[in-house]
Amino acid sequence: MESTTVGKVITCKAAVAWGPGEPLVMEEILVDPPQKMEVRIKVLFTSVCHTDLSAWKGENEAQRAYPRIFGHEASGIVESVGEGVTGLKEGDHVIPIFHGECGECEYCKCERTNMCRDYGVNPMKKAMIADGKCRFWTKEKREPIFHFLNTSTFSEFTVIESACVVKVDPDFPLNKMTMLSCGVTTGVGAAWNTAGVKAGSTVAIFGLGSVGLAVAAGARAKGASKIIGVDINPGKYVKAQALGVTDCINPKELETASHEEIKRLTGGGGVDYSFECTGNLAVLREAFLSTHLGWGLTVLLGVHPGPKTLPLHPMELFNGQQITGSVFGGFKGRTQIAGLAEECMRGAVNLDEFISHELPFEKINEAFQLLQGGESLRCLMQL
């Protein structure tokens, strides 16, 4: 990265999606300078999340937009900043976040939520707020390439609104910081912020992907006495136990429902907290039924793209059990993620445990296949 690029259009490589489910194509693209309240970042590391996988498949037709640059877990260095940006400068080490924080709207000023009016997660958004235009262009015809989840990190350079950029300590390894862009933050925060897991409590986690395992790591850090992991892939159990899961359940091998086995493991009462990390309504119901009458809390983390509604009868809530959702782990991105990074570096959560594979950026399609096949947690790619 050279300072001579400031204010100029940059030519760089990006993995471009041209259609649903089609292999990503490594292209030379053009990246415009940042406009007002925007930051241009040199991406050094990025990884693939299930949300990228779902969007790449085009599972929700209403959210389709091509050509597009996916990616929302990454880390890098600020190349330049646009007009009005404060708190960030050239050379800063940063992580992009899909769920931003402007700090000025009524949501950002409310302590009871981590929502942001303009920069929260929005899968429909495909251009920049400042002028409604893209900052990515095809090299030959200079046609727009759409943005994704406020970030678009499958590119050597990306332009992001400053509300979606978090500055981190330059002494922290950027490869590890990549894990805090999405999955680990979502899971750990769900345990710490949304549920408020307490020492000695019991937990059930449905789905042992990166988010579910981050829940386990967060629950263990808070001293949970029993952490039950539920997943149909027994290949995930060793890693789950390394991150704090005490008991593993394979629903396919049970003669009873998962929630009944969980109640048996907890002496008949059920867990204090359950976390649904699959995006499956039947699993969500099992998670709800696994919690203790009177005070059990179910936290919904899985992405449910279909139109179906919650599988609950309203009167079931009169038993004292509760259900709630959690976005980005309840963290306010710009003001709280730097603190989470510090806690991880002090050993609260081992970020290395989440990096299961490493590949060069050019092999991004292999990274997609590893995740799709259930073989990887996070495949870290260096650009």
d(CA 224, CA 174): 29
Q: How confident is the prediction for the chain on average, in pLDDT?
A: 96
- Classify residue 23 as exposed, middle or buried by CB count within 10 Å of its CB (0-12, 13-18, 19+): middle
Residue 306 has pLDDT above 90, yes or no: no
Give the contacts of 232 (CB within 8 A, at least 6 positions apart). 250, 251, 252
Helix or strand (DSSP H, E) at 265: helix 258-265
Q: How high is the pLDDT of residue 61?
A: 85
pLDDT band, very low/low/confident/very high, at 1 (cuts 50, 70, 90)? very low
Q: End-to-end distance of the chain based on CA atoms, in angstroms?
A: 12
Tell me which residue has tokens 């999955």. 183
Give 135-194 pLDDT, tens digit per residue. 999 999 999 999 999 999 999 999 999 999 999 999 999 999 999 999 999 999 999 999
pLDDT band, very low/low/confident/very high, at 273 (cuts 50, 70, 90)? very high
Of all residues in the chain, the percent with pLDDT exceeding 90 is 95
Average pLDDT over residues 291-297: 98
Is the bond into 311 cis (omega within 30 degrees of 0)?
no
Residue 2 has pLDDT above 70, yes or no: no
Helix or strand (DSSP H, E) at 228: strand 226-230
Average pLDDT over residues 33-61: 94
Q: How high is the pLDDT of residue 4?
A: 86
d(CA 211, CA 186): 6
CA 220 to chain centre: 20
* 3-class secondary-structure state, position 147: coil
∠ CA 290-296-298, nearest 5°, is 70
Q: Are strands 157-161 and 38-47 parallel, antiparallel or unpaired?
A: antiparallel
Average pLDDT over residues 254-265: 96
pLDDT band, very low/low/confident/very high, at 59 (cuts 50, 70, 90)? confident
d(CA 277, CA 46): 22
Give 337-377 pLDDT, tens digit per residue. 999 999 999 999 999 999 999 999 999 999 999 999 989 99
d(CA 40, CA 159): 4
Residue 3 has pLDDT above 80, yes or no: no
Q: How high is the pLDDT of residue 320?
A: 96
